Structure 1
Amino acid sequence: MLQYQRTGSGRPVVLIHGLLGSHDIFSRVVPLLADEYEVITLDLPGHGGSPLADGVETMRDAAREVVDTLAAAGVQHPVIVGHSWGGYVLAEILGSFPDVPAAAAIIYSQPYADPPEKQRARTEAIARFESEPWDDVVRDLFPVYVADYDPPEIFEELIAITEQASVPGARFALTTIRDRADHSQTVLDHPEIPVLFVSGTDDGAMPPIPLDAPHVQHAETESGHMGPMTVPDELVRILKRWIAGLPSAG
């Protein structure tokens, strides 16, 4: 089971972090949501306080770990929010466990598979994590996740959070990202699950998302990739407005 934290009361909202992150990515978001909702944050396998269990190797395994943890915690039909890699995990949950989420917010992420050049870059990054000092690799790979106008301390905080992950965790995350399925059609095939995409105006890590359907909404923050850290108030306003318009839980 994954390590998780929960606070607040009301409709359950689950937050899933991204590559080399932990629940700490959402430290500014949680108190803003917990005044209205029960907020559950998870550490994905090999990240934060969650070990990478034997046999956990694929994106579907990551999704199953989330689903099993929520079931063990008694969390039923939550609104699930996935950031970056967490958005890919959430897209897999939509595909493999569509009865679990009441709604899905894929933030600073997208439902498409990696193109070949991105897959090659993931493989190269795995090799680097296995052969080079951790700090050297993350400081080389992570600048794309911050905008030019973000305070330098945001980048340093992000780097510090990555230190909670492990090399096997990094290999697992990058492998699942590299090999993930395209779930754009999955989103369209489940009109019973409302989906929100939140993008950053200056997110250099993510492509545009042209998906259009009655159950799909789009929003944008004035930010780079790390909106939960840099614009938590703006992000939470978007999430609360969207959640308020969802069908009642039950």
Structure 2
Amino acid sequence: MSSVYFFEKGSGQPVVLIHGFCEIGAMWEDFTQELSKDFRVLCLDLPGFGKSPLPKPRISLEETAVMLEEWMEDHSIQDPVIIGHSLGGYVALALLELMGSKIRGIGLFHSTAFADDAGKKQMRNRTIQFLKKFGAEKFVSSFVPPLFSEKHREEFASEIEQATEQAKQSSLEGLIAFTEAMRDRKDRFEVLKNFQGPKLMIAGTEDGAVKIESSRRQKEAFSHYYELEGTGHMGMIEEKERTLNLVKGFCLEFS
């Protein structure tokens, strides 16, 4: 049996929601409440985050995908729609490469199929150095607020505080391991492009982590592509109602 912690609600078509870096499955609670009216919604904690243990000091996205495929087999999750935020999108793409047509549809939420460029790799290395020097709590306290667009930070102060508290459930080892995994991940644009199932992308025009120019370069690969004007990296909070409707509509089309 897998050691992946998760919670689920509802029945029917499985929809797996995968959180991003410095996040836990509980970030999807509001989405789960609504989507579970029509689907079996499952939200997991990636290894090293929340209540899921990190099995070893270094873990690749490919190894993470194998773990999640085993988890799905253990819990009879068949033909799932997989939607990932940021790092969760990278994991979703690794799952797509591993499982292919066993996946019903895929959604990238402020994420990308492209590998890190040289500048982004350097940033990951600086993150690792910071984590080793100052620890997880100091890192997440400075990391979370800029994920929101500057104009939304005052409006969503309580949500930022909650997201920061959830981020503190990330282990230092998990943060380092997945920073390395993101840095070293392969380009999966062709995997995405060649997938024949439905594909969703939600991008923010003010996203500092996944630039809108990068999202637009991938637009051709998606059957459903949406931009959130003036939104940062946290569209599921900054534009909760709209993004929830987009995800629900996407899943309803082929459920």
Instruction: Kindly provide the CA deviation profile for residues 83-115 of structure 1, in whole angstroms up to 9, marking residues without a partner as x.
Output: 010001111111222133110001111110000
Map of 1:5-154 to 2, 5 A cutoff? 5-54=7-56, 57-148=59-150, 149-150=152-153, 151-154=156-159
Unpaired segments ≥5 residues, structure 1: none
Q: Render the CA deviation track for 1:97-150: whole Å, top value 9, x for unaligned.
A: 213311000111111000011111111111211220433222333333111213
Taking only aligned residues, the RMSD between alpha carbons, in angstroms, comes to 1.7
For structure 2, the residue ranges without an aligned partner over 5 or more in a row are: none
After TM superposition, give the deviation of residue 215 of structure 1 in Å: 5.7
Q: Aligned to 1:98, what secondary structure does the other structure show?
A: helix
Q: Alpha-carbon deviation of 1:238?
A: 0.4
**Structure 1 counterpart SS, 2:102:** coil
Instruction: Give the TM-score taking structure 2 as reference length.
Output: 0.90
Which structure features the higher share of helix residues?
Answer: 2
Match of 1:228 among 220, 233, 236: 236
Q: Are the structure 2 counterparts of residues 102 and 61 from structure 1 closer, same or farther at C-alpha, using a change threshold of 3 Å?
A: same
Return closer, same or farther for 1:162/1:215 CA change in 2, 3 Å cut-off: closer
The one-letter code matched in structure 2 to 1:204 is: G
How far is 1:245 from its partner?
2.0
Checking the alignment, whether the CA contact within 8 Å between 2:81 and 2:106 is kept in structure 1 is yes
The alpha-carbon deviation at position 76 of structure 1 amounts to 0.2
> Normalized against structure 1, the TM-score is what?
0.92
Q: Deviations over 1:135-170 (max 9, x none)?
A: 322233333311121322222111101111101100
Percent of residue pairs identical: 26
The count of residues paired between Structure 1 and Structure 2 equals: 246
